[in-house]
Amino acid sequence: NDNGYGDCEYLLRARGTTADGEENQQYYPNSNAMLLTVFQTQIIELACLVVICIYLLVRFADDGFVPRLFFFPGQKRWRHTLQIWVLVSLLAGNLSGGTKFNPLLRMLILGTFLRSFQRELWTFLKMIPQMILVLSILAVIVVFYAWFGVVIF
């Protein structure tokens, strides 16, 4: 599109019959307002990434610019490595225009900063081996009934 809004303009102007039968209604009500162009959103994302990069640089400075302290063995090493990897991926995607994976990477960078999320994730991951038998039996039942439903109908 020439106007800079990309596919958003088409989606936000879409109209049709809603689920309750009302005709000529907006699928995504937005008062016909296009707020930001694709270029503007990329600039905002770059600004946020610069803030995160500066924060990590300050953390690195807090460790005296010593890599073995910043990447201290254990959870801190993995967290900082993942943060840097995700930041580089987001910057590369944003600068090259390939923003397909950016929403997933944004959630990942958020997860690397939220300690409570990390605790919950590790608890969940530790629980999976204990539940593998139950989950495998459930998977077999679901696959069987799916196959049975296909055969019958």
Cα–Cα distance between 66 and 73 in angstroms, integer? 13
Cα–Cα distance between 62 and 80 in angstroms, integer? 14
- Per-residue model confidence (pLDDT) at position 117: 92
* Greater pLDDT, 35 or 32: 35
**Tens digits of per-residue pLDDT, 43-60?**
999 999 999 999 999 999
Cα–Cα distance between 97 and 45 in angstroms, integer? 12
**Tens digits of per-residue pLDDT, 67-123?**
888 888 888 888 889 999 999 999 999 888 877 888 999 999 999 999 999 999 999
